[in-house]
Amino acid sequence: MRLYTDYCDFLHERGLLRGTLTKAIKIWTGCGFAHLFDMLDPKVILEIGRFDGHSLGLFRWLAPEAAIISVEPSPRPHAKKVIDALWEHGLPGETIFIDKTSDEAFKDPGLLNLRYDFALIDGDHSYEGALRDWGNTKGVMAPNGVVAFDNTEMACGKVFDRIDDFKTVKPFHVNFRKDPADGGQFGLVFMGDRP
């Protein structure tokens, strides 16, 4: 299994582990994703919300050969530096940067024609935004894919309690994060469990 801690060391050695990065995904989340990816072995990944590229780099680290589509309306140069460093390190997978909102990105047939084994919904964090992202994402997931929602207990407003799709089958909540004030829980939706 590829380790989150090795990814942090990799960034640290190259001066790429910035405070802004460590805020986004901390050790509990990173180790949780490492286990999830070990199980899932995702080949095609969708990320909604890139920021400085910490989760994007982590997905590349954990799934070196996967194709990753990363959606972000306000691209920041640091994310590109992280991905370039991983490419130079020999991780061969293709990373596609879509510098648009997720609503705009979901109009792109190139994005819609793929089937994703894993998706992260970590974009605008409003309830309405998370609902729209879920509505768009669920139609492009592979049958046994997994969708991760960040901040399910905070800005999205207990999003799982309010989405009709989750009234019968409850998504799996993971306390990847130690401090609930730091973004709350991740929620995982296993598409194979959907009715």
Concatenated DSSP letters of 116-162: EEEEEE-SS--HHHHHHHHHHHHTTEEEEEEEEES-TTTTT-SHHHH
**Which of 54, 60, 78, 177 contacts ligand SAM by CB under 6 A?**
54
**Which of 30, 32, 37, 55 contacts ligand SAM by CB under 6 A?**
55
The interface with ligand SAM within residues 67-96 (CB under 6 A) comprises 71-74
CB 86 within 8 A of CB 60: yes
- Cβ-based burial of 155 (10 A; exposed 0-12, middle 13-18, buried ≥19): middle
Q: CA-CA distance, 5 to 157, in Å (whole number)? A: 31
**Which of 51, 134, 176, 186 contacts ligand SAM by CB under 6 A?**
51
Least separation in angstroms between residue 125's CB and ligand SAM is 7
Nearest alpha-carbon partner for 187 in 145, 159, 162, 157: 159
DSSP state of 63: S
| Segment near ligand SAM (CB under 6 A); pick from 59-67, 86-94, 121-129, 136-144 | 121-129
Nearest alpha-carbon partner for 52 in 31, 30, 80, 79: 79
Q: State yes or no: residue 62 binds ligand SAM (CB under 6 A).
A: no
Q: CA-CA distance, 166 to 157, in Å (whole number)? A: 14
Q: CA-CA distance, 157 to 134, in Å (whole number)? A: 14
Least separation in angstroms between residue 51's CB and ligand SAM is 4
Least separation in angstroms between residue 97's CB and ligand SAM is 12
Q: State yes or no: residue 26 binds ligand SAM (CB under 6 A).
A: no
CB atoms within 10 A of CB 41: 12
Q: State yes or no: residue 116 binds ligand SAM (CB under 6 A).
A: no
Q: State yes or no: residue 124 binds ligand SAM (CB under 6 A).
A: yes
**Which of 95, 101, 137, 185 contacts ligand SAM by CB under 6 A?**
101
User: Among residues 51 and 116, whose Cβ is nearest to ligand SAM?
Assistant: 51
User: Among residues 108 and 193, whose Cβ is nearest to ligand SAM?
Assistant: 108
User: Where do contacts with ligand SAM occur on this chain (CB under 6 A)?
Assistant: 24-25, 48-51, 54-55, 71-74, 101-102, 122-124, 129
